[in-house]
């Protein structure tokens, strides 16, 4: 079977990486992470990966080139299908739409997202909710939305598989 490329949108801690991992495991996708690049830069330069620092880095590099994160993440990737695990901005979405990606919004309540971020050791303050990377794209920008309130990974995998399997076929 041949599947469409997928791009995930959603706020920090909503479960985008977990959904991407499900697509890798169930359908053979290659995961391409924009967030991983930013976290790596933050850790190498500052020794932390707080949301504030990540957002500052994101905005600084976007001021140099608006599509930098998606372009950098995809550089050298020669695989199909791919799942881009975190679109954050209108220019990222425009790229994905122009390339006929299937857009999936991953949603979770803020208290669930904050608990997940804390569990992975990522500092997150309420003011971090106001950065463009958290607000610019919404579920309305997607082909489908998956609500990931408190599902365990096994439950989420079943939900993702059942919701997306037929929709992703080319």
pLDDT by 10s per residue, the chain, length 170: 789 999 999 988 888 988 999 999 999 999 999 888 888 999 999 998 887 888 899 999 999 999 999 999 999 999 889 999 989 899 999 999 999 999 999 988 888 888 887 887 776 676 767 877 877 887 778 999 998 886 677 888 888 888 888 888 86
The token pair at 93 is 């979405």
Q: Is the pTM of this model over 0.85?
A: yes
Taking the domains of the chain in order of start, what are their residue ranges?
A: 6-168
| Tally of CA atoms within 13 A in the half-sphere of 166 that contains its CB | 2
Domain 6-168 falls under CATH 3.90.950.10:
no
What letters, b where the CB count within 10 A reaches 16 and e where it falls short, cover 135-166?
Answer: ebbebebbeebbebeebeeeebbebbeeebee
């Amino acid at each position: 079977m041949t599947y469409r490329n997928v791009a995930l949108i959603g706020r920090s801690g909503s479960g985008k990486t977990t959904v991407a991992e499900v697509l890798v495991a169930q359908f053979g996708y290659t995961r391409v992470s924009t967030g991983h690049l930013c976290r790596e830069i933050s850790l190498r330069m500052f020794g932390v990966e707080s949301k504030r620092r990540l957002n500052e880095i994101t905005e600084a590099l976007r001021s140099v080139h608006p599509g930098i994160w998606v372009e950098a993440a995809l550089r050298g990737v020669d695989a199909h299908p791919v799942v881009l695990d975190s679109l954050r901005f209108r220019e990222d979405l425009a790229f994905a739409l122009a390339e006929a990606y299937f857009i999936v919004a991953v949603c979770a309540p803020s208290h669930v997202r904050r608990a997940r971020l804390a569990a992975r050791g990522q500092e997150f303050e309420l003011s971090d909710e106001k950065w463009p990377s958290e607000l610019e794209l919404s579920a309305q920008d997607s082909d489908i939305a998956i609500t990931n309130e408190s599902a365990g990974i096994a439950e989420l995998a079943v939900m993702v598989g059942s919701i997306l399997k037929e929709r992703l076929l080319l």
